[in-house]
């Protein structure tokens, strides 16, 4: 069934989020000469911005890349995987690591916002008990995956294809994106229009 149609019942149904979830797949080759518009990228970024994060810390930064030289550098950092080499656009999700120190101005600002004008002491207490510098990097990278999931589904909703790319050389990616110390790449997402028909989904049964 397509969005907004239910021919058997003769009614117009609202698009369901599950439609986008069912239609999303990892595209490994994007069509050449089919760009992603600035408006589409903005909508995808907005979906990432609204993603949930533990303690409301939003420990991410998004970098969109659409220029030819930037895309070539990112494809190289991804070992020239076909999805990366053919992408019309990328969004890199970078994990903020050093900013997550409980005494940072960043955490202070986020907790002020999270407390909505109320007392920040309880959230600080919980976070200080939780925070450990040895585990904060993978934790921050894990948070970034929530933003990624939002972006992938929003892209599908817009009719765009996508591929999450975790297979990259972190050093090359850091260099290509000029990521400063204290931040680390979490995930790259390639976007465009897929060069082939959607493949059948492969998933374990629900039970």
Ligand X SMILES: Cc1cc2nc3c(=O)[nH]c(=O)nc-3n(C[C@H](O)[C@H](O)[C@H](O)COP(=O)(O)O)c2cc1C
Task: List the structure tokens of 42.
Answer: 């903005």
User: How many residues in the shown chain lie near ligand X by CB under 6 A?
Assistant: 12
Q: Are strands 183-192 and 161-165 parallel, antiparallel or unpaired?
A: antiparallel
Nearer to ligand X among residue 26 and residue 115 (C-beta) = 26
Site membership for ligand X, residue 166 (CB under 6 A): yes
Nearer to ligand X among residue 36 and residue 189 (C-beta) = 189
Site membership for ligand X, residue 91 (CB under 6 A): no
Among the listed ranges 33-41, 55-63, 87-95, 158-166, the one in contact with ligand X (CB under 6 A) is 158-166
Site membership for ligand X, residue 190 (CB under 6 A): no
Residue in 3, 20, 23, 28 binding ligand X, rule: CB under 6 A: 28
| Residues 145, 51: Cα–Cα separation, whole Å | 9
Site membership for ligand X, residue 76 (CB under 6 A): no
Site membership for ligand X, residue 118 (CB under 6 A): no
Q: Are strands 161-165 and 89-96 parallel, antiparallel or unpaired?
A: unpaired
Long-range CB contacts (within 8 A, 24+) of 143-146: 143/53, 143/54, 143/57, 143/59, 143/60, 143/95, 144/59, 144/60, 144/93, 144/94, 144/95, 144/186, 144/187, 145/186, 145/187, 146/51, 146/52, 146/53
Among the listed ranges 50-58, 114-122, 160-168, 176-184, the one in contact with ligand X (CB under 6 A) is 160-168
Residue in 4, 122, 159, 167 binding ligand X, rule: CB under 6 A: 167
Among the listed ranges 25-33, 52-60, 91-99, 170-178, the one in contact with ligand X (CB under 6 A) is 25-33
Handedness of CA 53, 25, 168, 45 (dihedral sign): negative
Structural element, H or E, at residue 204: none
Instruction: Report in angstroms how near the CB of residue 166 gets to ligand X at its nearest.
Output: 3
Residue in 36, 74, 140, 163 binding ligand X, rule: CB under 6 A: 163
In a 10 Å sphere around its CB, with 0-12 CB exposed, 13-18 middle and 19+ buried, how is residue 147 labelled? buried
* Residues near ligand X (CB under 6 A): 25-26, 28, 81, 83, 163-167, 187, 201
């Amino acid at each position: 069934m397509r969005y907004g149609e239910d021919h058997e019942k003769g009614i117009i149904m609202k698009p369901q989020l599950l439609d986008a979830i069912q239609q999303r797949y990892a595209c490994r080759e994007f069509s050449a000469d089919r760009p992603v518009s600035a408006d589409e990228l903005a909508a995808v970024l907005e979906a990432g911005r609204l993603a949930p994060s533990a303690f409301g810390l939003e420990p991410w930064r998004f970098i969109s890349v659409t220029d030819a030289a930037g895309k070539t550098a990112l494809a190289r950092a991804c070992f020239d995987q076909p999805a990366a080499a053919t992408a019309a656009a990328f969004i890199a999700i970078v994990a903020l690591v050093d900013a997550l120190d409980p005494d940072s101005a960043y955490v202070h600002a986020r907790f002020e916002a999270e407390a909505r004008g109320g007392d920040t002491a309880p959230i600080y207490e919980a976070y200080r008990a939780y925070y450990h510098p040895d585990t904060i990097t993978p934790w921050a990278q894990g948070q970034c995956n929530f933003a990624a999931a939002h972006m992938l589904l929003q892209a599908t909703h817009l009719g765009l294809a996508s591929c999450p790319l975790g297979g990259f050389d972190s050093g090359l990616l850091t260099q290509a994106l000029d990521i400063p110390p204290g931040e680390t790449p979490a995930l790259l997402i390639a976007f465009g229009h897929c060069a082939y028909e959607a493949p059948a989904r492969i998933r374990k049964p629900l039970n």
